[in-house]
C-alpha cells in the first residue's frame, strides 16, 4: 500500500484503487473508494450516448424546436449521472456517504433495514420488505476491483443486528461452485 500525497494523514491507496483512511488514534476506520463505470465500459457508454442523442434529435424534430433536443438530452444524460461520472463512497464510523457529480446522499447506519448483495454491489434499503419506493430511498454501493469482501465485512460490522441480508441467485450459484 502506498500513501496518497495531499489526501491527509492516514489515507492509504490500496492496490485496487480503493482508499482506506484510519484515524490517528486507531479506533475509527473509514473506507473510501471511487467507481467510474463509463471508464470501465466505454463502448457501452458510447452506444447509450448515441441512443440518447438520436432520441433527443427525434424529440427536437417532433417538437419543432431545438429546445426539446437540448432538454431531452440533458434529462436523459443526467439521469445516468452515476454511470457517466465518478461516484465516491465513504463508509465512516457513524454514516454512509455517496458523492456523485450533481448529488450527495448521507445516511446513518441505523436507517437501513435490508441489504441485498449481488455480483456488482450491495443495495441498502430503509424498508424491511421490498417496496416501490426503494428506487428512490435505497442506496446502491458498487464494488470496485477486489474490495468486495472488505466492503461486506465493514457493512456487517456497522449495520444493525436486525438487518436482513439476502444474496442474489448469481451470488449463491458462485458460492456453490
Q: 146-155: long-range contacts (C-beta < 8 A, 24 or more apart)? A: 146/15, 146/16, 147/14, 147/16, 147/18, 147/31, 147/33, 150/18, 150/31, 151/31, 151/33, 151/91, 151/122, 152/117, 152/122, 154/29, 154/31, 154/91, 155/91, 155/115, 155/122, 155/124
| Confidence grade of residue 171 (pLDDT, cut at 50, 70, 90) | low
Q: Which of 4-8, 16-20, 89-93, 134-138 has the highest mean pLDDT?
A: 89-93
Looking at the fold, whether 60 and 93 belong to one and the same domain comes out as no
Can you give the pLDDT at residue 79? Answer: 93
For residue 10, pLDDT over 50 is answered with no
Q: Are residues 59 and 126 in the same domain?
A: no
| One domain, residues 91 and 147 | yes
pLDDT in tens, 25-59: 455 688 999 999 999 899 999 999 999 999 999 99
* 167 and 117 co-located in one domain: yes
pLDDT at 13 over 50: no
Q: Judge if 46 and 73 occupy the same domain.
A: yes
177 — pLDDT class (breaks 50, 70, 90): low
If asked whether residues 64 and 127 sit together in one domain, one would say: no
Assign 170 a pLDDT band (cuts: 50, 70, 90).
low
pLDDT at 27: 58
Q: Are residues 91 and 153 in the same domain?
A: yes
Assess whether 28 and 112 both reside in one domain.
yes
Expressed as residue numbers, the domain containing 117 is 2-36+85-176
Cα separation of 136 and 72, whole Å?
Answer: 21
Based on the domain organization, do 115 and 171 belong to the same domain? yes
Mean pLDDT, residues 150-163 taken together = 91
Same domain, 28 and 100: yes
103 and 16, same structural domain?
A: yes
State the Rg of the chain over Cα.
19
Summarised one tens digit per residue, pLDDT across range 76-125 is: 999 999 999 999 999 999 999 999 999 999 999 999 999 999 988 999 99
**In total, how many domains does the chain have?**
2
Amino acid at each position: 500500500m502506498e500513501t496518497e500525497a495531499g489526501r491527509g494523514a492516514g489515507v492509504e491507496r490500496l492496490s485496487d484503487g480503493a482508499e482506506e483512511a484510519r484515524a490517528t488514534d486507531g479506533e475509527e476506520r473509514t473506507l473510501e473508494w471511487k467507481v467510474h463505470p463509463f471508464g470501465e465500459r466505454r463502448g457501452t457508454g458510447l452506444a447509450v450516448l448515441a441512443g440518447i442523442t438520436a432520441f433527443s434529435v427525434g424529440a427536437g424534430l417532433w417538437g419543432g424546436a431545438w429546445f426539446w433536443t437540448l432538454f431531452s438530452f440533458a434529462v436523459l444524460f443526467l439521469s445516468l449521472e452515476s454511470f457517466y461520472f465518478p461516484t465516491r463512497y465513504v463508509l465512516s464510523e457513524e454514516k454512509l456517504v455517496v458523492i456523485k457529480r450533481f448529488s450527495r446522499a448521507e445516511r446513518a447506519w441505523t436507517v437501513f433495514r435490508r441489504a441485498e448483495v449481488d455480483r456488482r454491489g450491495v443495495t441498502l434499503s430503509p424498508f424491511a420488505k421490498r417496496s416501490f419506493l426503494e428506487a428512490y430511498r435505497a442506496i446502491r454501493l458498487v464494488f470496485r476491483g477486489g474490495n468486495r469482501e472488505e466492503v461486506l465485512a465493514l457493512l456487517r460490522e456497522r449495520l444493525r443486528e436486525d438487518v436482513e441480508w439476502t444474496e442474489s441467485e448469481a451470488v449463491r450459484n458462485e458460492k456453490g461452485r
